Amino acid sequence: MPIGRGVEIALDFIIRTFMPFFDAITMAFNGTISALESALLFLPPLALIIIIAIVVWLVGTKWLSLGTFVGLLLILDLGLWEELVETMALVFIAVIIALLLGIPWGIWMTRSNIVNKITSPLLDFMQTMPPFVYLIPAVMLFGIGKVPGLVATLIFSIPPPVRLTYLGITQVSEDLKEAARAFGASERQVLTKVELPLSIPSLLAGVNQCIMLAISMVVISSMIGAGGLGELVLMGVNRLDIATGFEGGLAIVILAMVFDRASRSLGNYREIRKKFKRKEKEAKN
């Protein structure tokens, strides 16, 4: 069966019919990425490093904050700050869009068996398809540059928040839901007051995995002009330049570790806030 030929014909039809729409999306994403990069580069690198370290300290520990400061300072010393900012902007926007789409999608799956049955094989397809395959339609629809890299990263990183949102909500005890309904809670209140708060650990795991998958696409996206740290690794491979490739890879590792540890610490930060508020109430009483 000529499945590949059928996909090619369908993609050609989409390009001819909806090209103005994809051009508008390209312009919007290009403007968003450029604005975020300009904002990050406007600040002095040392000031931005201190801000990031303080944020990590607020959600994590002082040792994690110190490690973040030293790691980012090392990237600055290697002369890779602009490439780091390009990568951070791409990953940040891709993760935000993936979470804005993925979490409601996961909630929808818990409310509709039809959506669940349709979505499950689609997510399997998205997770098992080699990431390089995403580059072909992305380039055909959005051209060469950062936007197709963003789109490919988005598609690759969206399944974890969808699956883990669905998993977290479905694992909430039915007794708790029925108790909330018995006290007169609407379905929206059951979702916002019972299901989502109790599924926070699963949601945070989805956020963490989404970030990690987005960063893992950095090198692959650089093959279609996304730039950033991945371009250095790709350049090192093409030229057999060990120094350039290693420095780019080391910077990606540092960035991934910072995001990973900070996102994992969000759960601990939530528990610390709860304990602090509990102690405040006890002190007032």
pLDDT in tens, the chain (285 residues): 777 788 788 888 888 888 888 888 888 888 888 898 898 888 899 999 999 999 888 887 888 889 899 999 999 998 888 889 989 989 999 999 999 999 999 999 988 889 888 888 888 888 888 878 878 888 888 888 888 888 888 888 899 999 999 998 888 888 888 888 888 888 888 888 888 888 888 888 888 888 888 888 877 888 888 888 888 888 888 888 888 888 888 888 888 888 888 887 776 655 555 554 565 565 555
Angle at 262 between CA 101 and CA 98, to 5 degrees: 10
Hey, what amino acid is at 92?
F
CA neighbor of 258 nearest in space, from 66, 94, 111: 66
Kindly state the tokens that stand for 223: 């093959």
Domain count, the chain: 1
Distance CA 25, CA 279 (A): 49
CA neighbor of 30 nearest in space, from 146, 152, 138: 146
User: Between helices 3-42 and 81-111, what is the axis angle to 10°?
Assistant: 120
- What digits encode the pLDDT tens for the residues 228-239? 888 888 888 888
With 0-12 CB in 10 A as exposed, 13-18 as middle and 19+ as buried, what is 19? exposed
For residue 49, what are the domain limits? 3-284
Distance CA 14, CA 229 (A): 32
Report the CATH number that the domain containing residue 243 is assigned in CATH. 1.10.3720.10
Share of the chain above pLDDT 70, in %: 93
CB 218 within 8 A of CB 87: yes
Q: Name the H helices within the chain.
A: 3-42, 45-59, 62-77, 81-111, 113-128, 131-142, 146-157, 159-170, 174-182, 187-190, 196-198, 200-216, 218-221, 229-239, 242-284
CA 246 to chain centre: 24
Kindly state the tokens that stand for 133: 């395959």
Global pTM exceeds 0.75: yes
